[in-house]
């Protein structure tokens, strides 16, 4: 179930958003929803990349972790 969200926009930002919504032929609320969804998706991907980098750094520096990855075939799917 969805619920309304109230946000404050300054006049300049609201004008920019309204122009973009008009250019796309969608209501302002839909544009804002789509932009938020895109932002959340991007943030999620960045978080996953950062977590992966942390795991890789740990595995590179810890022999027991490296052995686990080597034994599991951790390079599969990356052309290795």
Q: What is the pLDDT of residue 66?
A: 75
Tokens 């943030």 map to which residue?
Answer: 43
Q: What is the pLDDT of residue 17?
A: 97
Q: What is the pLDDT of residue 75?
A: 54
Residue ranges of the chain with per-residue pLDDT less than 70? 71-80
Question: What residues contact 27, with CB distance under 8 A and at least 6 apart?
Answer: 21
The pTM of this model reads 0.64
Angle at CA of residue 24, ends 20 and 25, nearest 5°: 115
């Amino acid at each position: 179930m969805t619920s309304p969200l109230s946000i404050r926009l300054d006049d300049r930002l609201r004008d920019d958003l309204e122009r973009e919504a008009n250019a796309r032929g969608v209501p302002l609320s839909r544009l804002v929803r789509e932009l938020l969804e895109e932002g959340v998706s991007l943030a999620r991907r960045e978080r996953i990349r950062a977590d992966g980098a942390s795991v890789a750094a740990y595995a590179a520096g810890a022999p027991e972790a490296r052995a686990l990855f080597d034994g599991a075939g951790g390079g599969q799917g990356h052309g290795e």
